[in-house]
């Protein structure tokens, strides 16, 4: 959203980058259309997919004016796609949803109520990992009641597809132009502007674990955490210790 532009009260702008998402994007869109909270816009930014993603999206968008589809001219990465969606967003609230994840049908309704009850500007929620067929892989992953900047340095607790922000609290912002880890870098950036993010310990998102997803490359994820913390101005020793804590927490969360 441009500087000085007013937000549409009650509207949730959903930010979804799309790249080679033909297999799952239809299910993701349907999970948004099934929401019990109806006042939303879904901003689908296609990062030059060469599969059938557009063929899945366009018929759905043609029958639902709340779905907005934009194709980028050049393949530029998820950060650029998300920033394009943030530029177009008109909502009082900003939500993020990856192109292969699924929301439970009361996700927005419950999360908006949770946000209002706590007078919060930044909230996130629990997830349950599912496989490529949508079958739960393990028990739900709980979240803490709060996460501040310091906590996030050594704990992987915020799943992107669960985040909901109040637009006016942060104003127009852009995600760092990184090929990976831009979501984590963004949460750190936003937590420098507010006291904490509030965790809703209720499963509102099915997080799809795909063999070919960026997040499946664990070594790359570790390197991203370290480099992001160095970019934050954190010393090499502290960043290494924080990254180790991040890895240990991730292992505990996913395997214990």
Number of other CB atoms surrounding residue 144 within 10 Å: 14
Averaged pLDDT for residues 212-234: 77
pLDDT at 207 over 80: yes
Q: What is the mean pLDDT of residues 98-107?
A: 97
The answer to whether 211 and 133 have CB atoms below 8 angstroms apart is no
Band of the pLDDT at 214, cuts 50, 70, 90? very low
Give the fold, CATH level 3, of 8-211: Spore Coat Polysaccharide Biosynthesis Protein SpsA; Chain A (3.90.550)
Model confidence at 12, in pLDDT bands (50, 70, 90)?
A: very high
* Tokens describing residue 244: 């180790």
Measured in degrees and rounded to the nearest 5, phi and psi for residue 185 equal -60, -35
- Whether the pLDDT of residue 184 is over 50: the answer is yes
pLDDT score at 1: 60
pLDDT in tens, 13-35: 999 999 999 999 999 999 999 99
Q: Over 90: is that where the pLDDT of 247 sits?
A: no
Q: Which carries the bigger pLDDT value, residue 197 or residue 134?
A: 197
Average pLDDT over every residue of 103-127: 98
Looking at the chain, the whole-number percentage of residues with pLDDT higher than 90 is: 79
C-alpha span between 27 and 99 (Å, rounded) = 9
116-132 pLDDT, tens digit each: 999 999 999 999 999 99
Residue 216 has pLDDT above 60, yes or no: no
Q: What is the mean pLDDT of the chain?
A: 92
180: region left, alpha or beta (phi > 0 left; psi from -120 to 50 alpha): beta
Take residue 94 and report the two structure tokens written for it.
Answer: 């900003």
pLDDT tens digit sequence for 151-179: 999 988 999 999 999 999 999 999 999 88
**Alpha-carbon distance 13 to 68, whole Å?**
10
Task: Specify the higher pLDDT residue, 209 or 200.
Answer: 200
Token pair in block for residue 174: 């852009």
The verdict on pTM exceeding 0.85 is: yes
Report the SS3 class of residue 125: strand
Mean pLDDT of the 72-96 span: 96
Cα separation, 102 vs 161, in Å, equals 8
């Amino acid at each position: 959203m441009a500087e000085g532009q007013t937000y549409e009260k009650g509207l949730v702008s959903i930010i979804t980058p799309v790249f080679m998402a033909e297999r799952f994007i239809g299910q993701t869109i349907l999970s948004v259309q099934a929401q019990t909270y109806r006042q939303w816009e879904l901003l689908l930014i296609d990062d030059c997919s060469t599969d059938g993603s557009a063929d899945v999206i366009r018929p759905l968008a043609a029958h639902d004016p709340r779905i907005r589809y934009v194709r980028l001219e050049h393949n530029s990465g998820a950060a650029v796609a998300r920033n394009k969606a943030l530029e177009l967003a008109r909502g009082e609230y900003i939500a993020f949803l990856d192109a292969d994840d699924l929301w439970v049908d009361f996700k927005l309704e419950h999360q908006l109520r949770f946000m209002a009850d706590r007078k919060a500007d930044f909230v996130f929620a629990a997830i349950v990992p599912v496989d490529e067929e949508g079958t739960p892989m393990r028990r739900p992953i709980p979240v803490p009641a709060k996460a501040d900047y310091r906590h996030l340095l050594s704990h992987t607790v915020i799943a992107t597809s669960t985040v909901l922000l109040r637009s006016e609290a942060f104003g127009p912002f852009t995600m760092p132009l990184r090929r990976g880890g831009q979501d984590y870098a963004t949460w750190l950036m936003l937590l420098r502007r507010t006291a904490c993010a509030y965790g809703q310990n209720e499963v509102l998102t099915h997080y799809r674990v795909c063999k070919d997803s960026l997040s499946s490359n664990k070594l790359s994820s570790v390197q991203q955490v370290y480099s992001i913390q160095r970019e934050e101005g954190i010393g090499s020793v502290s960043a290494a210790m924080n990254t180790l804590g991040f890895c240990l927490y991730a292992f505990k969360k996913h395997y214990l």
